[in-house]
Amino acid sequence: MSTFHYIDNNPLDLAKIHEIISTNAKLALSETAIQKIEKCRFYLNEKMKLISKPIYGINTGFGALYNVKIDGRNLQKLQENLVMSHACGTGEEVNSEVVKLMLLFKIQSLSYGHSGVQLATINRLIDFYNHDIFPIVYSQGSLGASGDLSPLAHLSLPLIGLGEVMYHGQKIAGKQLMEMFSWEGINLQSKEGLALLNGTQFMSAIGIHCLLKSHKLSYLADLIGTISLEGFDGRIEPFNELIHFARPHHGQIKTAERISHFLEDSKLICQEKQHVQDPYSFRCMPQVHGATKDTIRFVTKTFLTEINSVTDNPNIFVDEDEIISGGNFHGQPLALGLDFLAIAISELGNISERRTYQLVSGHRHLPPFLIANPGLNSGFMIPQYTAASIVSQNKQYATPASVDSIESSNGQEDHVSMGANAATKCKKVVDNLQTILAIELFTASQALSFGSGKTSPFLASIVRSFREEVSIVEEDRILHYDIVSATKFIDSLEIDNKELFG
């Protein structure tokens, strides 16, 4: 039985989004939201009867055509033309998981009663969401300035019976969708096309997708890094709370606490060591992982503000009797946040690969490349190569998009955020980190098998579960399959929301 989430103008947070997605909750508008939507639309309809002056996007052209007034008889055609003409996306199709978030955030943004849309328009978007109807959206085409014009145009095309959607794994035309559900296309009224296309829901959806995954991968970096520490016969002292309270960055303290918790009752960490210090990739996990945690917190705050905001243009304020053209669609806050997140996440991969490198280098008690008979067997030589290659690619993807801008719309849109490019790059960095950590777990669990002491009960339970999917490497085999299995394993791990978002 499906649960319902009511769009009631209360803010969404990551835990709530995770719950909505993971439980496949259906959406419905609250009475409060319905009243705000209808009140705003009624106000705009009445305003249109009384005014003759041009109001941007309502009875004018768009962008550089802002000063071309449109006759009232053509206002519906104007909105439909806007949606069709802006559907110029190219590149890869956006996966349905992100498109579902786009629908959720567009519905949320339009529900505040400042956008002038019809109730029927929002209800049709809710129908798409609840029936798992995902418009085909493309990854390229947005400058992240007047919002995500091209991606949101593709999201909106099926409202008027155009474009394509993914439904039950099949790609079907918008017209066919209307016939299947006996729906009529929405007759877009004044302002509606602009309300649908102006907005940051493409950047926001990818950003929230990345943040949900980043919170989990941050936890897993701590967990897998601790297994590596045990496999490398590392020391406990760098995680003593005294040094972290002396430099009290939130993420640093949290990382040290978490690693110490993972190591509780470990015999291996307590045994006498021959070495006085560990390399930075082990010793400085609180400082490096912690800095990424603090970045994730900052970017999360930025994105939660965004998805709980009105981001189209112009904005309608009924009680104040104002229709104001501004720039809430500009993606600069998101572009900077996405670039910052990509840099921070790439660093988790950077330090992870260094631990993998140390583990295969024949130091401490470990054989070269973690194989019993090196020479005849190459062992874990090449998984480290693979991790190094992906880490290097992440460094390239971490080059900021937000420092770039390009003039568009005949000079009217003379500064753009490039937030959409920042978003698609950031997603690649996050996806790559999952593979890098999977390689570290594969390597660390192998290193741990050469140890003489017992690790903590918690870490031992993780390694036992991992061994059900990936066995110890006794001699050379095709390790690609093991890396794929390791990646699936960490993806399948379920972590308590308090650990993820607390």
Which of the residues are catalytic? 56
List all residues 6 or more positions away from 110 whose beta carbon is below 8 Å from its beta carbon: 37, 117, 121, 122, 125, 195, 312
Quick one: tokens of 148? 């995500």
In this structure, what is the dihedral angle of CA atoms 295, 15, 8, 174, given to the nearest 10 degrees?
90
- For the beta carbon of residue 151, count every other beta carbon within 10 angstroms: 33
**How many whole angstroms separate alpha carbon 147 and alpha carbon 251?**
32
**Helix 96-110, helix 119-130: angle, nearest 10:** 150
Are the C-beta atoms of 98 and 206 separated by less than 8 Å? Answer: yes
Distance of alpha carbon 141 from its chain centroid, rounded?
Answer: 19
Residue 363: strand pairing partners: none
Q: What is the DSSP letter of 64?
A: G
Are the C-beta atoms of 166 and 134 separated by less than 8 Å? Answer: yes
**How many whole angstroms separate alpha carbon 333 and alpha carbon 182?**
41
**Which of 339, 403, 328, 357 lies closest to 146 in space, CA to CA?**
328
List all residues 6 or more positions away from 244 whose beta carbon is below 8 Å from its beta carbon: 252, 253, 256, 286
Task: Report cis status (omega within 30 of 0) of the bond before 367.
Answer: no
Phi, psi of 271 (to 5 degrees): -70, 155
Are the C-beta atoms of 502 and 400 separated by less than 8 Å? Answer: no
**How many whole angstroms separate alpha carbon 409 and alpha carbon 63?**
6
Quick one: tokens of 229? 């520490």
Quick one: tokens of 105? 């955030």
**How many whole angstroms separate alpha carbon 322 and alpha carbon 16?**
33
- Tokens 């992240």 correspond to what residue? 144
Q: Which amino acid is at 100?
A: K
